[in-house]
Amino acid sequence: MEDFDTILATGGVLSQIWDELTTEWNVPAGFRDVLHLEQRSRQIREFNAQMLPGILQTPDYARALIRARKITASKEEVDHLVETRVGRLAKLREGSLPLLWCVVRQAALTPNLGDSAIVRGQLAHLIKLGTEGTARIQIIPDSAPAPAALCEAFRVMTLDGANTIGYVEHALGGEVKALPQQVEDLITFFETLLSEALSPSASLELIGTINGDHHGEMD
């Protein structure tokens, strides 16, 4: 493909398109749009009540979740989906890393994946990302009276030029929300959830405590 770029003087466009098509061949069509928007974002705010955001997941954690959901998928398909999911952060790091601001419920920190080592590794990964400043992670503790935190997962992506797009997940995938009122509602919702969350430092402390209490001492 590089030869075609050279012959046609495309400046690498053909190679970029080819890479995108071949790395996302079995990603749901609706989510491909989100991946492209994500890579053009300067701020990503995400909430998830049931599990950790995909962009923060380790390969083992992602594989366990994908296998549980796609029970008929081949090993090749699962491996590809894992690579696509966990590779999102690496792609963002290739450019100017956007602000990643993730709010999750405490219950999402201790999923029953059948292997405590997977959860232990995932929680240690969260602490690393939060400590090094890659992501701003805030936890809504079990003690918080936050019924709104039982809603479906969603994210709000602010692009260059101050354009903001929302994405709301559901059992079969998700939907892009681009109307101004929809985006405003999602931002307000995120701020409401944020008001029930612990500070970033307190959240990392809670994650460390949970990892020590439930999954052994961290390395």
Structural domains in the chain plus CATH codes: 2-215 (3.30.870)
CB 37 within 8 A of CB 165: yes
Q: Does position 216 have pLDDT exceeding 70, yes or no?
A: no
Question: What are the beta bridge partners of residue 102?
Answer: 46, 137
| CB-based contact 111:122 (threshold 8 Å) | no
CB 194 within 8 A of CB 102: no
Q: What is the pLDDT of residues 156-176, one digit of tens each?
A: 999 876 789 999 988 777 888
Band (23; pLDDT cuts 50, 70, 90): very low
* pTM beyond 0.75, yes or no: yes
Q: Average model confidence (pLDDT) for the chain?
A: 84
Strands 136-140 and 154-159: unpaired
CB half-sphere exposure, 120, CA atoms < 13 A: 12
